[in-house]
Amino acid sequence: MDGFGTVSKEGWQAPGHWREIDGEWQIMTLGGLQPIDPQAPVCHVSYYEADAFARWAGKHLPTEIEWEVAARAGLLSDAYGIVWQWTRSSYSPYPGYRAIEGALGEYNGKFMVNQLVLRGSSLATPPGHSRVTYRNFFYPHHRWQFTGLRLADYA
């Protein structure tokens, strides 16, 4: 219900930054308004939108582990530098994690609640952050940080 409620409340009809102008869909890019490229990965979608599309397509969003196994096996040639990819994994600490004392421990701990993991990287990711182990995280309704999706099969 959270997803449907968010989409309804926000009035979303298309991914973020898409605009319908004179009956044609366009997207606001870093280079200005451009026609939608049907071959380009979808960008600026929330977890709710990504999950709904995956279910509609008869697939699912990968778990964080599924994503990393595929990336390490070299199966995700487009995992980096395009869009962050939603997973269906909650942003939780790895086994054995212990928050350090003080402000840094408090800072890290507050993000480990109600957020989901994104993997890969986007075109806006700083150099050095694109690596197989990097985890990004956002609330499921966020769609602003070059967020996209990857479909996984149930097989």
**What CATH number should be reported for the domain holding residue 142?**
3.90.1580.10
* Structural domain contains residue 89: yes
What is the residue range of 98's domain?
A: 42-148
pLDDT classification of 16: cutoffs 50, 70, 90: very high
With H, G, I as helix, E, B as strand and everything else as coil, classify residue 87. Answer: strand
Report if residue 13 sits inside a domain.
no
pLDDT-derived band at 1, boundaries 50, 70, 90: low
**Residue 95 confidence (pLDDT):** 87
**Mean pLDDT, residues 124-151 taken together:** 93
State the DSSP code for 29: E
State residue 112's pLDDT score.
81
Question: Residue 28 falls within a domain, yes or no?
Answer: no
pLDDT at residue number 146:
95
Domain count across the chain: 1
Model pTM score: 0.90
Give residue-wise pLDDT tens across range 19-30.
Answer: 999 999 999 999
Q: Do the Cβ atoms of 75 and 69 come closer than 8 Å?
A: no
pLDDT tens-digit readout, 92-130: 888 888 888 888 777 777 778 899 999 999 999 998 899
CA dihedral 135, 152, 155, 93 (to 10 degrees): 20
Report the sign of the C-alpha dihedral through residues 57, 61, 65, 69, in that order: positive
pLDDT tens for each residue of 38-96: 999 999 999 999 999 999 999 999 999 999 999 999 999 999 999 999 999 999 888 88
In a domain, 121, yes or no: yes
